[in-house]
Structure 1
Amino acid sequence: PRSAMMHRGYLVGFGVWITDQSSIEALYNLGYGKGVLSRSKPLHFSNSKVKYFDRNRTREAFHAKQIATHKNSEVGLEYLQLSAVEAFFIQDNLQNINISRGAPTTCDGGSLIMTTEELWKAWVEMIGLSFISEYCAYCQYRSMGWIVRGGLKYGVDFVLYSKGGPSQTHGELTVSVQFVHSAENAASLTIERFGKLTDIQALSRITETVSKGLLLCFVYTKENIETNDQSLLHPSIMDKIHIKDFILRRWDPTKVRE
């Protein structure tokens, strides 16, 4: 859904910071980003939230250290971190965010706003082909109505949640994205990121243990494109990309008996 509210973001490293509290709440409620001091939903908007951290313990919590760092900053106590694919999706599809380079404390009101083309080029140069493949996959599942979150802790690229997101429901599917350079390679279903079959079996076992399905997503181009092709640096490359996906399930002999 589109929002009439305009948001301000700051390109820092491989993501975008959102520092305004109203923007943080609006974007998180739409299923984007996570708080940098919280497990998911940003909670630390005031110093009163810090009271449950015991600073007398010899082993100080990681979040407590981060809060101490932010206490005297100009950006407030907590900001929302958007991944590269989330930020680009908001800019390219919702068109209600202005993103500039640098941290909020180093950007003034006159900082240049990055265009969609500049943002795409910056992330392709920083992240590489994985940004293109992950963004195309992100668009695919987001357009289907899924809330798409990062899946690092499960060893995958994304976790798909139904309506409401992780604060209201458990993830149903995990997604492992594989970029291939042509339709011919996609037809062979060669999975380069997995060195051997046991790697896939291990990933399948992990996702099954947490009661989630495993989706293998193949992102491929209609024509052969070299990794140094300049066309990759422009978002129009998405016109040449197709996606195939397959749900991977373990074979259970007890369910196929005649």
Structure 2
Amino acid sequence: TPIVVKKSGSKPKFKSVKADDGPTKAFPDQNAVYRSVLRRNFVIIESEADADAVYKSGFFGKGSLRRSGPGQTSRNEIFYLLLVEAFYLLSVEGYRCLTIFDEESKRFLDEESCWDRFSNISPRFPAEYAGYYKLRLNGWVPKSGIKFGVDFVIYVQGPAYYHARYSVIIVEREDREDPYNQRGDSWVNLYTLMRMTHNVSKDIMIIYLTGDFRQFQSDKVRSLKCHLVSCRIATRWTPETSRESAIETGSE
């Protein structure tokens, strides 16, 4: 089946989805502070009350033994945040409600030390955060896409309301210059992802980053909303469906 790649312009266009359609932009209690611990490669919220509040305020985090948020207590279950979620809650205006204690260094992380620490844990953290920030800014709720072999899957409002609409992969400038990259520039790789996501009723969204986010600069991180991002949607082209759409719009 042919693949159609549609350009979405310099800024992702999300049709009728607006930021106001998504979860709240700030916690109800503006003075709330939630504690978390960076344990090895995971940011963990140990308090059940804090975990519940964080999840309900924007579908941040996940229970380790379930598909979504925190549930009944279990000795073997933890509630954890993705690195990008933790940094978002630590740094973005309107939130800034999370403290992160690093068990390795035995100290609390500020924005700069957190950025460096997370970048050491995951070399792709800067790129993933840039994509995550842009998606949140446009009203989407991104969650881990590792189950589908992608960076994120994104929801309208949240997983409690709708199934994920798109599978998202983040492509850095360095990826595009690498002939062995697996990030969507190869038609074979793209078609493999297409087959996988089509089986779960999703399309592929490819976000191309135009800047270098590897070196922390507070002004750059806080101005990501102004940074140009090229976005494309890849869908499977069906002749019958496309022909019917063309007839309805009078283009044939």
Name which of 206, 217, 222 aligns with 1:216: 206
Would you say 1:161 and 2:185 are equivalent positions?
Answer: no
Q: Which residue of 2 aligns with 1:89?
A: 88
Name which of 181, 190, 199 aligns with 1:192: 181
| Higher radius of gyration, 1 or 2 | 1
C-alpha deviation, 1:204, in angstroms: 0.8
Counterparts of 1:1-258 in structure 2 under 5 Å? Answer: 1-3=25-27, 4=30, 5-29=32-56, 30-45=58-73, 67=75, 70=76, 78-93=77-92, 94-102=95-103, 112-128=107-123, 130-163=124-157, 165-181=158-174, 192-194=181-183, 196-221=186-211, 232-238=215-221, 242-257=228-243, 258=252
Higher normalized contact order (CA 8 Å, seq sep 6+, divided by chain length): 2
C-alpha deviation, 1:125, in angstroms: 2.0
Q: Which residue of 1 aligns with 2:15?
A: none
Q: Percent identity?
A: 26
- For the structure 1 residues 142 and 191, does the alpha-carbon distance in structure 2 shift closer, same or farther, using more than 3 Å as the test? farther
Structure 1: gaps of 5 or more residues: 47-66, 71-77
TM-score (norm. length: structure 2):
0.74
- For the structure 1 residues 175 and 191, does the alpha-carbon distance in structure 2 shift closer, same or farther, using more than 3 Å as the test? farther
Distance in 1 (alpha carbons) for counterparts of 2:62 and 2:121: 22
C-alpha deviation, 1:121, in angstroms: 0.8
The one-letter amino acid of 1:140's match is K
Q: Which residue of 2 aligns with 1:60?
A: none
Distance in 2 (alpha carbons) for counterparts of 1:159 and 1:245: 15
Structure 2: gaps of 5 or more residues: 1-24, 244-251
Q: Which residue of 1 aligns with 2:3?
A: none
Residues 120 and 234, structure 1, Cα contact 8 Å, conserved in 2:
no
Distance in 2 (alpha carbons) for counterparts of 1:97 and 1:149: 18
Distance in 2 (alpha carbons) for counterparts of 1:39 and 1:125: 27
Two-structure CA RMSD over aligned residues (Å): 2.8
- Equivalenced residue count is 210
Secondary structure of the corresponding residue to residue 249 of structure 1:
strand
Deviations 1:35-77 (A, max 9, x none): 123222222326xxxxxxxxxxxxxxxxxxxx4xx4xxxxxxx
Q: Which residue of 1 aligns with 2:9?
A: none
Distance in 1 (alpha carbons) for counterparts of 2:102 and 2:59: 24
The one-letter amino acid of 2:164's match is G
C-alpha deviation, 1:237, in angstroms: 4.4
The one-letter amino acid of 2:61's match is G
Distance in 1 (alpha carbons) for counterparts of 2:99 and 2:186: 43
Distance in 1 (alpha carbons) for counterparts of 2:40 and 2:82: 10
C-alpha deviation, 1:191, in angstroms: 9.0
Residues 42 and 81, structure 2, Cα contact 8 Å, conserved in 1:
yes
Q: Which residue of 1 aligns with 2:7?
A: none
Residues 166 and 202, structure 2, Cα contact 8 Å, conserved in 1:
yes
Deviations 1:177-226 (A, max 9, x none): 111149xx69xxx89324742221111121111111210111121xxx6x
Residues 178 and 191, structure 1, Cα contact 8 Å, conserved in 2:
no
Distance in 2 (alpha carbons) for counterparts of 1:245 and 1:14: 29
Secondary structure of the corresponding residue to residue 215 of structure 2:
helix
